Structure 1
Amino acid sequence: MTLSAALRDRLARNIPTVLVTVEQALGSTPRDGDAVMLVDAGAIVGTIGGGRLEHEAIQASRALLRAGASEQTLDLALGPVLDQCCGGRMVLKLERAAAATLTTLEAIERNEQARRPCVLLFGAGHVGRALAQALSLLPFDVRWIDERAHEFPDVIPPNATRIVSDKPWLLVDDAPSGAAIVAVTHGHAQDFDIVDAALRRGDCAYVGMIGSDTKRVRFRRWFEREGGDAALLDQLTCPLGGTTKIDKRPPMIAALTAAELVRALAGELEPSDVEDICEVTGCGT
């Protein structure tokens, strides 16, 4: 659930709620500016970084609600005041949420959505479904493509759009510059056509194909026979998730591939997004 959806639900049920916003982050801090979370009497949604900082924000928000106040500013030196080793300084705005707050949150989320890097995920088989799930918590715009409508689950991740196409390779041309292309379909020929289209574009941030070292060799031979420039093959990641996997189950391949996508697309993400998702994937950026 997005923060705006959570707030919409609380407003509809008349649950008093505070929006906590990081207005300023100086030095080493657990989150950057504009990080937000919601606090009501019994729950929180989102995070501004955890630890003592977040505990203080939650306590102050609930005190604000009990006092019937409308807003408050907290200026916290993390080291001297909260004994957090990151040692920076954060200014937090606490605001009792209202309809205008919801409008602001919705606008922020629309802007974030428009800036999200695009991932074209081809294939809704075992690995495709695992990868779609692995990407569901990451700030990517996922276009999930297969010609077999029945292969998609009944409920798909909120950041994914289902696309049914019997010529999926043609959709590569519709991807924005800097997109990631991931081919995990049920057929080698289809994977080859998708990767061929992606490499010939020359502007994809990531081009990956499910398979093995042997499949990569076969693709190279096919690609060169089709007139492809051998130099473009340096852009191809195959096998997905590296060559030293000790576990080839779909969830493991998906997790390692998600980490590769984070590395490839990190330049298109907000710094705070990179910090958050590297904690999940262990990508080490």
Structure 2
Amino acid sequence: MSFDLDTLRAAVARHGRVARVVVMGTEGSVPRETGAAMLVWDGGQSGTIGGGTLELEAARRARLGAGITRVPLGPGIGQCCGGAVRLLTEHYDAAALDALLVEVGYVARPLPGVTGPAPLTLRRTLAGLRGGTGPVAPGEIDGWMIEPLFQPARALWLYGAGHVGRAIAAVMAPLPDWRVTWIDSATGRFPDDVVPGVEPLIAANPADVVRHAPDDAHHLIVTYSHALDLELCHQVLSRRFGWAGLIGSATKWARFRSRLGALGHPAEHVARITCPIGDPGLGKHPQAIALGVAVQLVQMAQTRQEARSA
């Protein structure tokens, strides 16, 4: 896990003062790993450190103050896990965000009650990272906490803010390692409260922004217009991309294959677009489509990661 600075900044901007609770150490069987974190504010929270009762108690304590707490899960709060966790709770506002030490893809800051400059051991660790050593696991270095900075590895460009687009955005946004860019033609097409972690992008013609996507982006086309869908497919096939999916039936896809061929795209290139998307066996409800798409994307990403690691 890693320090999601962008999400924390967005939460502070929205709620003013936010507590971040991170698992800074574990012993034995526990719900989540070191580095798992959640944000807590008056009236709400996001993220998870797992464990049900553990999370409820951690959120309650987070609203009271900062500090480090060791929680034995069995004797302490009656959970079936036999281990224990050390939780670090920190409170953030705009000034606290500015005080963070952010270097070479890591975030470091003093633990509650610790004052003074960064210790020599931490400075040496950061110097080593600048020299190419690493990675460094989340943890404590002489009174300072260090965590890798969250940097999403996969870009999802989602076209269409209708019912299916909204369901997909809600499912994909919390998944680690994904950055969702959500494109439609007008502000009014998006919900009033866009899911945290999703970046809306407004374009009079959404097909015009395809060229700005990263070369390895995943493109997911779920707009209200078949004509726009076709133009988006055409633009995606005209450049490099990691994966592309199109909402639709087998009949729609047969027509699109023919029309994309007429636009000059070879059949083997057109075949790189997945249509239908998700798992048709789950049904056509927007949330069912979103679940199927999320499973498809996560499984595909895991398969590629395993192939690279082999």
| Residue of 163, 175, 181 corresponding to 2:213 | 175
For 2:208, the aligned partner's letter is L
Matches within 5 A, 1:78-97: 90-94=85-89
Contact kept, 8 Å, 2:30 with 2:82, in 1: the verdict is yes
Tell me if structure 1 keeps the 8 A contact 2:74–2:82: yes
Q: What is the count of residue pairs matched by the alignment?
A: 255
CA distance in 2, matches of 1:96, 1:214: 54
Q: Which residue of 2 is the match for residue 236 of structure 1?
A: 273
**1:216, CA displacement in angstroms?**
1.7
CA distance in 2, matches of 1:18, 1:143: 27
SS at match of 2:289: helix
Indicate if the aligned counterparts of 2:203 and 2:209 stay in contact, CA closer than 8 A.
no
Give the TM-score, by structure 2 length: 0.61
Whole-Å Cα distance in 2 between the matches of residues 127 and 43 of structure 1?
Answer: 26
Spell out, residue by residue over 1:203-256, the C-alpha distance to the aligned partner (whole angstroms, 9 max, x if none).
31x31111101122222223333332323344322112223243x233332333
Residue 143 (str. 1) matches residue 184 (str. 2): no
Match of 2:264 in 1: 227
1:186 to 2:186 alignment:
no
> SS where residue 257 of structure 1 aligns?
helix
Match of 1:164 among 191, 203, 221: 203
1:169-206 Cα offsets, whole Å, 9 max, x none, are 232221113322111223323212322332453431x3
For residues 1-285 of structure 1, what are the structure 2 equivalents within 5 Å? 3=8, 19-25=20-26, 29-37=30-38, 46-51=47-52, 53-54=54-55, 57=58, 65=65, 71-72=67-68, 74=70, 90-94=85-89, 101-103=96-98, 111-112=149-150, 114-115=151-152, 117-138=154-175, 140-148=178-186, 150-158=188-196, 159-166=198-205, 168-204=206-242, 206-246=243-283, 248-265=284-301
In 2, are the aligned partners of 1:121 and 1:145 still within 8 Å (CA)? yes
5+ residue gaps in structure 2?
1-6, 108-146, 306-310
Q: Measured at CA, do residues 201 and 29 of structure 1 come closer, stay the same or move farther in structure 2, by a change above 3 Å? A: farther
Please report the RMSD computed on the Cα atoms of aligned residues, expressed in angstroms.
4.4
Shift of 1:143: 2.4
- Higher helix proportion: 1
- Tell me how far apart the structure 2 counterparts of residues 151 and 96 of structure 1 sit (CA, whole Å): 35
Q: Distance in 1 between matches of 2:42 and 2:203?
A: 44
Amino acid at match of 1:72: I
Q: Which amino acid is the alignment partner of residue 257 of structure 1?
A: V
| Higher-strand-fraction structure | 2
2: CA distance, partners of 1:129 / 1:59: 31
Q: Which moved more, 1:82-91 or 1:143-152?
A: 82-91
What is the distance in 2 between the residues matched to 1:144 and 1:99? 27
| CA distance in 1: counterparts of 2:231 and 2:167, whole angstroms | 22
**Partners in 2 of 1:150 and 1:39 — Cα distance?**
30
Which stretches in structure 1 are left out of the alignment for 5+ residues?
270-285
Distance 1:42 1:125 in 2: 28
| Amino acid of the structure 1 residue aligned with 2:88 | K
Q: For 1:55 and 1:110, locate their aligned partners in 2 and report how far apart those are by CA, in whole Å.
A: 26
Residues 85/229 of structure 1: CA separation in 2 closer, same or farther (3 Å cut): farther
